[in-house]
Amino acid sequence: MDFEETSEIIVGKRAGAIEELLPSCKEVLKRNRENSYRYTFEVLRNSLSNGVYKLRNNESLEEYSVYCHMTEIPGCGTGGWTLVMKMDGNKNEFNYSSSYWTNKETYAVEDGLEGLNEKQTKLASYWNTPFNKICLGMKVSGVTQWIVIDHQASSLFNVIAGENFIATTVEKNAWKSLVNDSNLQNNCNQQGFNIDKGNIYYAFAYNKVRIGLVANNQNNCKSCDSCIGFGTSVRGCDGDVRNSACVFILR
């Protein structure tokens, strides 16, 4: 994607610049706006473009490269958004059991710096970026839909790596909106991080979802067989969408 710079007001820092290191794309955009009081709002609002920036590694204090989406994402809101992961539903690198959820290792960084395409990646922002919103995108049959989760944490790693279930409060219809014409069963509706559900009736069936929602036709969560989400390992899940591309970005 094209990337432009208004050099007088870049603080961030963008790749190749020598400026202060900040922890997130949101902070880069915020600092840029604070230092741009002499510009009109219209210029200010569009002063930073989507592209590669340098952020601060919170452990080593050194820099690392990340893709920043500085413009608005429908369904999520205004930037700046820090790219964390991209996944291919046809592949297993980021299924529920993958060690990438619980370690601090990157995956295919260069593919992550290309932006919001369908190439898989995990960037160092997974364990370095503090956030209060997660923007989730799912591309199915060429159509990308976005939803946002309000959740505050020091990093996505700190939310997921502990393997503990953490509930979220997204409307069920919002989850369903990720896939056009999707349907989920009426009951259970457990949603959040680190959902690990077996099936008391069928030992071979299970629903494991790193971020998402599981549902059931019975009035309990003991035999869930429909689900939607990211980072899944499922068996016996009706309507499981495998041919999807998924994106996590934080703000």
What does the pLDDT read at residue 24? 96
What does the pLDDT read at residue 206? 66
**Measured CA distances, 214 to 121, 155, 167, 238 (Å):** 25, 24, 12, 11
What does the pLDDT read at residue 66? 98
pTM: 0.85
What does the pLDDT read at residue 244? 62
Strand partners, 83: 249
Buried b (16+ CB within 10 A) or exposed e, 36-69: beeeeeeebbebbbbbbbbbbeeeeeeebbbbbb
**Cα angle: 119, vertex 120, 122; to 5 degrees:** 135
CA atoms of 245 and 146, how far apart (whole Å) = 12
What does the pLDDT read at residue 141? 87
Residue 90 carries which DSSP code? Answer: T
What does the pLDDT read at residue 72? 95
What does the pLDDT read at residue 12? 39
Q: Name the stretches of the chain with pLDDT < 50.
A: 1-13, 16-18, 41-44, 46, 200, 204, 239
What does the pLDDT read at residue 188? 93
* Domain range annotation of the chain: 4-177, 181-247
CA atoms of 124 and 70, how far apart (whole Å) = 18
Q: Which CATH number fits domain 4-177: 1.10.10, 3.40.50, 3.90.215, 3.90.550?
A: 3.90.215
